[in-house]
């Protein structure tokens, strides 16, 4: 068996980690990992199945029931998380490049992701280190000592998506470890490499054997087994609505805790007064581009619905389309590239289908809507698609209702504040949204009325690890990040101590 500190490049396809060992799949199956910029394989991983999943869960169960981690002092757990953050900083360039090649994003985006991952580990380290050991409850008597304490849930199953592989993994792993849990993670089968690398860093930082497990493999085998497994105490899933519903159904059989982050259809509301000055107009247009086209729109909080006041629509959309045409597409590792490919041929085909349906339903194409011509920085086999702006859209269009997860921006218009709010809330999702206005009172009113888990005012996309992330409606249940993100990985226990026990005499016999 491979040693747990063996570098990934030398480990080859042994990417299943269970009980402190790196293993090949029990079936011997492997999967090629493709670079989405040219569709060529550049790594090989194990293709695990239910048997491998059972092995990893058993190791995590033993580590939780019999190992030291759940009982390790909080200060020591926090110190380990800080060591992990330091290792992430040390390996920033290597991991940023790996994230770029794996997911197709630019190297600079990959580097920023690594910074955010390190921030998450540091935040949860500081959060648990600064907590009181328990919440004292006033029982109304000096003879009673009553306290509510928090304990780890147990074995946590984590299922993460392909768009932000390491970032989404860290939002689950960091609070789970801070709380004293063990875990088994299943990264997306098409972007698993940085999550595998993170397991190496956890081991290097000194995490006890068996606490961290990973099974690389598909959702219908590995993910499904994790969700239903009787020895798993919590399942945390980030991904699509259909898959998330299946996870919740499977988890319900064993009544385990469930946390689901299921994406969104996020409105970016622009009032005319935000565009009254040249600077305001330029900023709002620039941020609308960022909202829709960062990482080729493959972001759960992407501002893919531009809802702009009618009086400035034509000027705004014309400038938006002009700038969108100039976005430099290419391989994320190339200097000067601003936007990479989609993650897979399947994702590009899905995007093309959305655009075709929108045009058939009456949308007006302002730019994009096709694959770009191949070039030295855009190999012919890559999954590239031009940033696309669709004007004159309405709520009945499929492209407006459903999550595209591609570089597609739809444009709707409004005349009144009430109409803007109604449009922004007219979605079955509720993850994030933004309002652009120079009127401070309007900003607060609209933000208060939007039914979305995060609302930005005159900004789009930033998040803070100390602020909860999650959504309303079909965007999911539970929260990641912030104190509530830590609470997801804990159970509350009330300890009631009678300091002067005496007979109750309820029964007289």
Helices (H) and strands (E) in the chain, counts: 16, 20
Rounded to the nearest integer, the mean pLDDT of the chain is: 96
Contacts of 359 (CB under 8 A, 6+ apart): 365, 369, 390
Mean pLDDT in residue range 184-190: 98
What is the model's pLDDT at position 8?
Answer: 52
Mean pLDDT in residue range 9-14: 68
Residue 6: band (very low, low, confident or very high) from pLDDT cuts 50, 70, 90 = very low
What is the model's pLDDT at position 9?
Answer: 43
Asked if 288 and 303 touch (Cβ cutoff 8 Å), the reply is yes
Task: Kindly state which CATH superfamily the domain 13-262+475-494 is placed in.
Answer: Aldehyde Dehydrogenase; Chain A, domain 1 (3.40.605.10)
Q: Token digits for 237?
A: 């899933």
Q: Rounded to whole angstroms, what are the CA distances from 100 to 118, 186, 193, 199, 342? A: 17, 20, 11, 19, 12
Q: Which of 124, 154, 176, 157 is nearest to 63 (CA)?
A: 154
Cite the DSSP H helix spans in 259-312.
Answer: 278-293
Mean pLDDT in residue range 349-361: 98
Q: Rounded to whole angstroms, what are the CA distances from 39 to 101, 190, 204, 329, 342? A: 11, 12, 33, 16, 11
What is the model's pLDDT at position 11?
Answer: 65
Catalytic residue among 99, 109, 189, 261: 261
User: What is the end-to-end Cα distance of the chain in Å, rounded?
Assistant: 66
Element (H, E) at 162: none
Taking only the tens place, the pLDDT of each residue in 268-324 is 999 999 999 999 999 999 999 999 999 999 999 999 999 999 999 999 999 999 999
pTM for the model:
0.96
Q: Which of 410, 99, 428 is nearest to 244 (CA)?
A: 428
What is the model's pLDDT at position 127?
Answer: 98
pLDDT above 90 for 22 = yes
Fold of the CATH domain 267-457: Aldehyde Dehydrogenase; Chain A, domain 2 (3.40.309)
Give the whole-angstrom CA distance, residue 286 versus residue 458.
11
For 36, phi then psi, to 5°, come to -65, -10
How many CA atoms lie less than 13 Å away from 463 in the CB half-sphere?
Answer: 26
Taking only the tens place, the pLDDT of each residue in 425-449 is 999 999 999 999 999 999 999 999 9
Q: Where are the chain's structural domains? A: 13-262+475-494, 267-457
pLDDT above 60 for 240 = yes
Concerning whether 261 is annotated as a catalytic residue, the answer is yes
């Amino acid at each position: 068996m491979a040693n747990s500190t063996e570098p990934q490049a030398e480990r080859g396809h042994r990417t299943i980690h269970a009980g402190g060992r790196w293993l090949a799949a029990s079936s011997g199956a492997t999967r090629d990992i493709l670079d989405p910029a040219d569709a060529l394989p550049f790594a090989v991983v194990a293709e695990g199945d239910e048997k491998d999943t059972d092995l990893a869960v058993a190791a995590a169960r033993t580590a939780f029931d019999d190992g030291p981690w759940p009982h390790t002092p909080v200060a020591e757990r926090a110190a380990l998380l800080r060591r992990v953050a330091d290792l992430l900083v040390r390996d920033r360039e290597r991991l940023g490049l790996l994230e770029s090649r794996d997911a197709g994003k630019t190297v600079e985006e990959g580097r920023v992701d690594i910074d955010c991952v390190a921030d998450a580990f540091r935040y949860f380290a500081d959060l648990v280190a600064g907590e009181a050991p328990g919440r004292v409850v006033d029982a109304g008597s000096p003879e009673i000592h009553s306290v509510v304490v928090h304990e780890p849930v147990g074995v946590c199953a984590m299922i993460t998506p392909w768009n932000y592989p390491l970032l989404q993994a860290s939002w689950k792993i960091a609070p789970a470890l801070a709380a004293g849990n063990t875990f088994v993670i299943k990264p997306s089968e098409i972007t698993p490499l940085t999550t595998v690398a993170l397991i190496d860093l956890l081991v290097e930082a000194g995490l006890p054997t068996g606490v961290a497990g990973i099974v690389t493999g598909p959702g219908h085998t590995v993910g499904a087994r994790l969700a239903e497994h009787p020895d798993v105490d919590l399942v945390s899933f980030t991904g699509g609505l259909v898959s998330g519903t299946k996870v919740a159904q499977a988890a319900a059989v064993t009544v385990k805790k469930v946390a689901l982050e299921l994406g969104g259809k996020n409105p970016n509301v622009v009032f005319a007064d935000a565009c009254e000055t040249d600077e305001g107009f330029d900023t709002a247009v620039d941020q609308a581009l960022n909202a829709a086209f960062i990482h080729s729109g493959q972001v759960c909080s992407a501002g893919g619905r531009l809802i702009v006041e009618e009086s400035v629509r034509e000027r705004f959309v014309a400038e938006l389309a002009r700038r969108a045409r100039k976005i430099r597409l290419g391989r994320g590792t190339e200097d000067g590239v601003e936007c990479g490919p989609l993650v897979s041929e399947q994702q590009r085909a899905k995007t093309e289908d959305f655009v075709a349906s929108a045009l058939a339903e009456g949308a007006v194409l302002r730019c994009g809507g096709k694959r770009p011509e191949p070039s030295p920085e855009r190999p012919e086999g890559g999954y590239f698609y031009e940033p696309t702006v669709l004007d004159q859209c309405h709520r009945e269009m499929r492209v407006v209702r459903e999550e595209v997860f591609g570089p597609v921006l739809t444009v709707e218009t409004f005349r009144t504040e009430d109409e803007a709010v109604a449009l922004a809330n007219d979605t079955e999702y509720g993850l994030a949204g933004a309002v652009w206005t120079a009127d401070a009172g309007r900003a607060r009113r609209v933000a208060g009325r939007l039914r979305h888990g995060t609302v930005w005012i005159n900004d789009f996309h930033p998040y803070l690890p100390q602020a909860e992330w999650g959504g309303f409606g079909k965007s999911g249940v539970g929260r990641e990040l912030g104190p509530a993100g830590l609470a997801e990985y804990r159970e509350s226990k009330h300890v009631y101590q009678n300091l002067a026990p005496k007979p109750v005499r309820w029964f007289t016999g």
